[in-house]
Amino acid sequence: MLVNGKEMRSLWYEDDCLKLIDQRKLPAKFEIFVAKNEEDVAYAIKEMVVRGAPAIGCAAAYGIAMAKNKEKAAELISNTRPTAHDLFHAIDYMLKKIEQGEDAIKAADAYVETIIKKCKKIGEYGEKLIPKNARILTHCNAGALATVDHGTALSPIRMAKDKNIFVWVDETRPRLQGLLTAWELEQEGIEYAIIADNAAGYFIRKGEVDLIIVGADRIAKNYDVANKIGTYEKAVLAKENEIPFYVAAPLSTFDNNIKNGDEIEIEERSEKEVMNIYTWKPKKARNPAFDITPAKYITGIITEEGIIKLADN
């Protein structure tokens, strides 16, 4: 990913520490969070220093690698966020590699490199779906920040930047992760406009959106998708208005132990995230972090091994 014209990754291991771009501070400030042990990594995941299913998994891999007691570290980190499957995929990967006698840091390095390569392949497959002059809608952030490099939903967009594309960026309340997408697009020189979440239907109905690409946090065996709250309504709008709705995710996001979306645990975060913009505080708020998009609304899932065709919109 580009940061002020310089190539870098959203997290990396250096000087016996895991260093992460602190996504809580972006785009106003660019700061590096330094995790010195598994407790720091667990904090970074729980408090959203690092976000995005693949990046969470990569951070988890290093957290286990740095720990003296790998099993306790795995338990600690697995209890940070329940919805994203990559977290648990990475933990299982690390424990298996360590049991086989592999060096833990080298195993974590290999895991991260694999994720980066997968995201690049997602971009190569997904770019072919984007026509010239396309107007693309995104939701949340599924860019390099969320995947260490390239991105999932943003990987095809990055590779299609010479096609004169334009990106509608949902702000994605309550954490405003659309700002991170806008920041990444600006770094890449890709034209965009950020919009309120509830403005998406307006532009879709006016015919100003040609396709939608989002990421995923967990994909069930029947291809139901858990993604950032607000994704479901975008998929329904896409179906109603006959525009393609694509999900971009590596195969590490697929959970074949989950039959359908109803079995996916949905994280509910603090109501403070919803109410922090209010001067008058309501008595109660609800803050589910994700929702479920049934497979029938999804045109296809873009993976590192190709595109899984689903619906006809």
Residue 300's pLDDT band (cuts 50, 70, 90): very high
* Domains, the chain: 2-118 (1.20.120.420), 123-309 (3.40.50.10470)
What does each C-alpha distance from 144 to 1, 150, 187 come to in angstroms?
6, 5, 11
**Backbone φ and ψ of 267, nearest 5°:** -70, 130
Q: Report d(CA 126, CA 50) in Å as an integer.
A: 25
Q: What is the dihedral of CA 155, 143, 146, 181, to 10 degrees?
A: -170
Q: Report d(CA 138, CA 155) in Å as an integer.
A: 12
Q: Report d(CA 116, CA 215) in Å as an integer.
A: 15
pLDDT of 277 strictly over 90: no
Catalytic residue among 86, 149, 170, 217: 217
| 217 a catalytic residue | yes
Q: What is the pLDDT of residues 66-116, one digit of tens each?
A: 999 999 999 999 999 999 999 999 999 999 999 999 999 999 999 999 999
Whether this model's pTM surpasses 0.85: yes
| pLDDT value of position 311 | 80
Pairing of strands 2-3, 17-21: unpaired
Q: Report d(CA 185, CA 140) in Å as an integer.
A: 13
